[in-house]
Structure 1
């Protein structure tokens, strides 16, 4: 019985340890400590938690968007086997990689986990401590840029680690003026590794500085205009950075620059899209990890097999960016991708706007802009960094303080399985108080 009580509290206690483990070892120290297995281990544990959750709650009310995405990817799986642009094991591997971020998001949002005040304080302190450890790497990188490649493989990994630590700190803070200033200070360390981050950094500064009072959310006009301006600015930054990625090389005479493989991938993706416009070239065919590991024949067909960084013996640059891989799904897949993100982001913003939760409203905006722009120069969504960010997005989207279906979920659990220490949901029902306080329950 004690084991079943522990299982009952998975979503509210053990998820914290999984979340912290994924942040610190699956993102921050992933390359520094060569911990390549952490994301797979985290994913397995998350699936176990979810399976136990379904067993105890007897719930089968899956999110309609999750069913749609799974159905679409299964159809693309069959379509990819039909085209056979790569080996079956490559297609299956790419199917799992493409499915992972979406499944992670929907699992966490359905679990609807929450962090206590004590857990948030511990997490915030750990984020600050780890950020201080990363700061010398960024400072040293100003004088010796190769330090990023030797310590973290790519400068983008340093940026992603610092950005993740900063966002989690903001989530765990009280969102006071001091906390927001600390967040911006932490985030500014990204500028040490990548000057291209400055436009996104200034946009995030604008978001944090403008949305500084909860009363702003009460005005539909102010909130709507500000959100529209943010979308326009983010789109402009996206266009500028995407255009810069299309530059084939710099003017130096000794071959291609570091950005040249990305530029060639982007340019070649337009050719692939022209040849497979509607449904794309299929899974594991272009600009993904599986397409490089099993080396897709399309690379030789489009003349990429002789390019440094894209050759069969040195293929790791083929999956350095995310957006070129969308040509695998064609125009149909691109439209569905945009619809998914529009729905998820707008639904989250609408929920927090209606509830007056300024902190989560701002974090959703920042996280959406980061994923939207960051995928230009990095394969954020399908990498270990994207796995954590989608877990974080699921934590925001499924927060039980705003989850209207949570009461029904609790009522499905037998009384004898409830732990002796009442959870905060039970306190809402009975009017009692728990030893753990949640200051933002009123939101």
Structure 2
């Protein structure tokens, strides 16, 4: 066991390469749908070995809190009978997966060698070239199944490259190139994220530390307005037109509006696991959809539940107001740690965290990426980019 833990950096390096190739790039092409579950299982086993070797049990506190929260919601879901047991348990795995993956990766805290980072950088450039060819030859659906997945693959590639490099101007230009490949997806939400991410990187390099002061907030507000303008066509199409034409209300505005009603009707803990806005609630068709009259809408019916898990935010109704506050607390803790411990020393770690948060903030409007395979990989990159207690200790010497 000691030799296994001693080589943790090599093991995590292999995990990152395999996870990137099979959990992001080839996930839809190979149609092996359990890659992300296997990734989380590996992280759990690996983290348990690392903690046992260190004998520092306090490191398990974040994971214990996550497990405790989801244990409560599981019991709560069984008590109120939010759905059949299979749906509750299946949704439990889907919902807890990103948090377990993030905290396990943060706990392991790998430190890669320069040669390993060089290998990952070259791999990102090769894959980036492949993504460019896929976009130019219009084979996005063949390889990735959907343009949004192609876009998130470009985002994951750009983030991984940035993590492995030193935040020089050359690194930033390559990051921009890798990220810009995602334009082939023609997704308006990607255009918005691209504008914000590029602003973060260039401002951080040219103007210095991007802080939450008056100047920084005004800058972020301005670039956010630009992002909204870039994505306004899809925002109007998905949400405004659908709500105006109530006879043909689209799935996304219907789900968003109904989630608000569920927050009030199932205050404060929500409608329970497997009940609303998730894959499990569509596979084991939840009674909530009939209760709120959604079962007759296109994509939300029992025979055609394709659009039930088409966005992330509606599924927060399962956890109620308390769940929303917990989700906000998660992101607050991540951003605070990065801002507090990374920013004085390196812009790169802080900007990866801030850009990842922005990505999920935008992505959640029209996709459930946070609980999917590519979301898990981006969370892992964010976790290993965060300053850990050992890094902070070295800096204080």
TM over 0.5: yes
In structure 1, the partner of 2:253 is: 263
* CA separation of 1:285 and 1:15: change in aligned 2, threshold 3 A: same
- Kept in 2, the 8 Å contact 1:246–1:266? The answer is no
In structure 2, the partner of 1:116 is: 113
Measure the CA separation in 2 of the matches of 1:398 and 1:103: 18
Measure the CA separation in 1 of the matches of 2:297 and 2:223: 32
- Kept in 2, the 8 Å contact 1:286–1:325? The answer is yes
Whether 1:176 aligns to 2:164 is: no
Which one has more relative contact order, counting CA pairs under 8 Å at least 6 apart? 1
Measure the CA separation in 1 of the matches of 2:149 and 2:69: 30
State the TM-score, normalized to the length of structure 2: 0.89
Q: Which entry has the higher C-alpha Rg, 1 or 2?
A: 1
In structure 1, the partner of 2:77 is: 80
Measure the CA separation in 1 of the matches of 2:137 and 2:265: 46
| SS of structure 1 residue aligned to 2:126 | helix
Measure the CA separation in 2 of the matches of 1:250 and 1:149: 30
| SS of structure 2 residue aligned to 1:216 | coil
In structure 1, the partner of 2:363 is: 374
In structure 1, the partner of 2:339 is: 349
Whether 1:360 aligns to 2:349 is: yes
In structure 1, the partner of 2:182 is: 190
Once structures 1 and 2 are overlaid, which stretch shifts more, 228-237 or 124-133? 228-237
Report which of the two has the higher share of helix.
Answer: 2
- Kept in 2, the 8 Å contact 1:216–1:223? The answer is no
In structure 1, the partner of 2:98 is: 101
Q: How does 1:60-75 map to 2 (within 5 A)?
A: 60-62=57-59, 64-75=61-72
- Kept in 1, the 8 Å contact 2:73–2:319? The answer is yes
Give the alignment partner of residue 137 of structure 1, picking from 134, 138, 156.
134
Whether 1:44 aligns to 2:36 is: no
Whether 1:208 aligns to 2:208 is: no
* CA separation of 1:381 and 1:61: change in aligned 2, threshold 3 A: same
Measure the CA separation in 1 of the matches of 2:143 and 2:297: 25
Measure the CA separation in 2 of the matches of 1:338 and 1:248: 29
* CA separation of 1:351 and 1:182: change in aligned 2, threshold 3 A: same
Whether 1:322 aligns to 2:312 is: yes
In structure 1, the partner of 2:3 is: 6
| CA RMSD after TM alignment | 2.9
For 1:65-110, what per-residue CA distance to the aligned partner results, in whole angstroms no more than 9, with x for missing partners?
4433332222222211111120012112212221111111111111
State the TM-score, normalized to the length of structure 1: 0.80
* CA separation of 1:225 and 1:139: change in aligned 2, threshold 3 A: farther
Measure the CA separation in 2 of the matches of 1:231 and 1:340: 21
Measure the CA separation in 2 of the matches of 1:256 and 1:154: 24
- Kept in 2, the 8 Å contact 1:246–1:267? The answer is no
* CA separation of 1:265 and 1:283: change in aligned 2, threshold 3 A: same
